[in-house]
Amino acid sequence: MLIKLSKRILIAYGIIFVIGQILSSCMSFKISQKEINKQFEGYAQKPQQHQIEVHGTTMNYAEIGADSLPVAFFVHGSPGSWSAFIDFMKDTVLLKKVKMVAVDRVGFGDSDFGNAEKSLIVQADLLKPIVAKQKKLGKKIILIGHSLGGPLIARMAMDYPELVDNLIIVAGSIAPDLEPNEKWFRIPLELVPIRILIPASFRASNHEILYLKPELEKMLPLWKNIRQPVIVIQGGKDMLVSPKNADFAQKMLVNAQSLKFVKVDTMNHFVPWSHPQLIKKAIIESL
């Protein structure tokens, strides 16, 4: 009886593993060079990907546009990759005004895929050389962070203010007290063998979200140090990040040079795809 049960468990384990691997390939959020070439067929410019080693971690990013222009630097949410912002890179109006850079955060895309980093301090440190490279050109740096990218660009402004000129926080999960209590299902997903059965991008996402609240708590005394102009974009129908995060931003960003809120009651969490014009307008205003 035990032997039959063990066989069934092994078979079930094997089936789940195979399904997990198939889902992993479908849900990696990566984009191949072939896909990039296809999407930008007929366009005058197309994004170029680059990799750099930062403290032993390979960081991947894409850029498009002239080095003489200010830089719009995009940071994606969880899960995701730089390709979340690929449609912005096709925008001819934006390309006349800014150079665009979009990064694969660690654990996603081609930046150490599947191996996330829970510390926002470390994540900011991994982004620093990429941002610094753009800043060396002497141009304005506008950081745009969606979802979990929101607190990360705020952390960048706290830790490396000399590299950051403007912030655009899009549906950012920045308030620790507004983080949902999801440990009941996230902790089991961290355990072997379950963690190796789920797609790598979701494994990375689960890991960083599980530890996000204490990371946000570490930032609480530092919000007053942000002095750059900030634009906050938030939807009232956001089911993933509480719309009250915008209220938190208003409370904490007391020393920002300027603070603007763009609130749309009918908008959900997926602003870069549903309302890209709001982000484009915020970038242009930041210039």
Please write the tens of the pLDDT for every residue from 104-114. 999 999 999 99
Higher pLDDT, 28 or 127: 127
Q: Worst-scoring range by mean pLDDT, 21-25, 50-54, 64-68, 201-205? A: 21-25
What size, in residues, is the chain?
A: 287
Positive or negative torsion for Cα 52, 139, 163, 115: negative
Assigned token pair, 104? 């694969």
pLDDT for the residue numbered 215: 98
Q: What is the spatial distance between Cα 47 and Cα 85, in angstroms, rounded to a whole number? A: 11
Kindly tell me the burial class for residue 268, based on how many C-beta atoms sit within 10 Å of its own C-beta (0-12, 13-18, 19 or more). middle
Q: What is the spatial distance between Cα 130 and Cα 276, in angstroms, rounded to a whole number? A: 24
- 221-258 confidence digits (pLDDT tens): 999 999 999 999 999 999 999 999 999 999 999 999 99
Instruction: Report the phi/psi class of residue 61: left, alpha or beta, with left for phi > 0 and alpha for psi in -120 to 50.
Output: beta
Specify whether the CB–CB gap between 73 and 144 falls below 8 A: yes
Provide the 3-class DSSP secondary structure of residue 167.
strand
- CA angle, residues 211, 220, 182, in degrees to nearest 5: 30
Assigned token pair, 72? 């719009």
Amino acid at site 157: A
Average pLDDT over residues 197-224: 95
* Helices 212-219 + 120-135 axis angle, to 10: 60
H/E run at residue 260: strand 259-264
Q: What is the spatial distance between Cα 227 and Cα 224, in angstroms, rounded to a whole number? A: 8
Average pLDDT over residues 144-155: 98
User: What residues pair up with 50 in beta bridges, in sequence order?
Assistant: 61
pLDDT at 75 over 90: yes
pLDDT at 213 over 70: yes
Residue 24 CB coordination number (10 Å): 18
Cα 100 versus chain centre, distance: 15
Confidence band for 149, pLDDT divided at 50, 70 and 90: very high
- CA angle, residues 215, 160, 218, in degrees to nearest 5: 20
H/E run at residue 122: helix 120-135
- 1-37 confidence digits (pLDDT tens): 556 545 554 454 444 444 344 333 334 578 888 999 9
Specify whether the CB–CB gap between 287 and 140 falls below 8 A: yes
The pair phi, psi for residue 59, each rounded to 5°, is -110, 130
Q: What is the spatial distance between Cα 62 and Cα 230, in angstroms, rounded to a whole number? A: 24
Specify whether the CB–CB gap between 146 and 76 falls below 8 A: yes
The pair phi, psi for residue 99, each rounded to 5°, is -85, 140
